[in-house]
Amino acid sequence: MLAHPRATLYHSWRWSEFAGAVFGFRVHRLTVADAAGGIAGLLPLVEQRSRVSGNRLVSLPYFNYGGALGTSEQQERELMERACELARARRIAQLELRDAIPRPGLPVRSDKASVELVLPSSAEELSRSLDAKLRSQVRRADREAPEVTVGGAELVEAFYAVFSANMRDLGTPVYPRRFFVELVRQFAADCGIVLVRLRGRPAAAALLTHFRDRTEIPWAASLREHRATSVNMRLYWECLAHAIGRGSRVFDFGRSTLDSGTYRFKLQWGGRPRTLHWVYPLAASAPPAGHGRLAEVARRVWSRLPLPIANRLGPWISPGLPW
């Protein structure tokens, strides 16, 4: 099924098993067979249980894509029906399928989008395609003599130091460190880390995933104290150059809320938006977009926590949240 044109890295059973095992959640594999008994459709599901946000059945939590995948629309509808039956049997009220295509007639959230850039054959071509202001911002970081490293497991600690600080500043509980340790360990061929150091210390970092001719950047962060140095621009440039160097043809900047600052930041690199359709087959209507007043208050409080406290509490809360 991974040869299917709409398949993503996250349709592999290994990814749902990973998400379940790291956090102790139950994983379900739904399949439909073809006439010869082979797999003609699949839908990986994770029971995401939380006392904070309730219990959910999701394909696939923590990542941007999932949803039913089959050789026909009928097979995909069958998989979604079986997911509904499973949710009812497990007494789970919310079923969320993270599709990248519309599912007419079903409640859907479409307030988020990824941004995809078709990559040229060389970094030089990419540079020429950028406007002068963007090229200048990328070069601005050169004044700080940045040190760029591309690697794997050996960079997780440095990545997490930047990522966890950025998440605290955003008012969001951080994933446990072991999530990234195991991710890079188990999927070494599919993942990589790009790290930018200033004056010998981590300043910006990103974790990339690779599948077929695509590179995706699910997580990226830079330290707020280095904002004036344009180190974040340099980080994204290095990620794009690395993707081109490994032969990727498409760069996926990851999901953002439509019209947000992050969304506009990604569009400036020349990519095109791709609306994400998150479907809720059990619901009368999709959950509201955005965050309520209580959530916004919680974000402001969290952003003021000392970093050691945020890093201690966040990993207990974040696995069950609807990321």
Would you list the domain boundaries of the chain?
A: 9-99, 113-275
pLDDT at 36: 80
pTM check: above 0.85: yes
Domain at 113-275, CATH class: alpha beta
pLDDT at 319: 87
Contacts of 58 (CB under 8 A, 6+ apart): 45, 46, 48, 66, 95, 96, 97, 98, 322
- Lowest-confidence range among 80-94, 261-275, 286-300? 286-300
Residue 287, CA distances (Å) to 28, 55, 252, 284, 323 in order: 23, 14, 25, 10, 13
Tell me the CATH number of domain 9-99, given options 3.30.70.20, 3.40.630.30, 3.40.50.970, 3.10.450.50.
Answer: 3.40.630.30
Taking only the tens place, the pLDDT of each residue in 120-168 is: 999 999 999 999 999 999 999 999 999 999 999 999 999 999 999 999 9
Looking at every residue in the chain, the average pLDDT score rounds to: 93
Same fold, 9-99 and 113-275: yes
pLDDT at 39: 86
Say how far apart CA 315 and CA 253 lie, in whole Å. Answer: 25
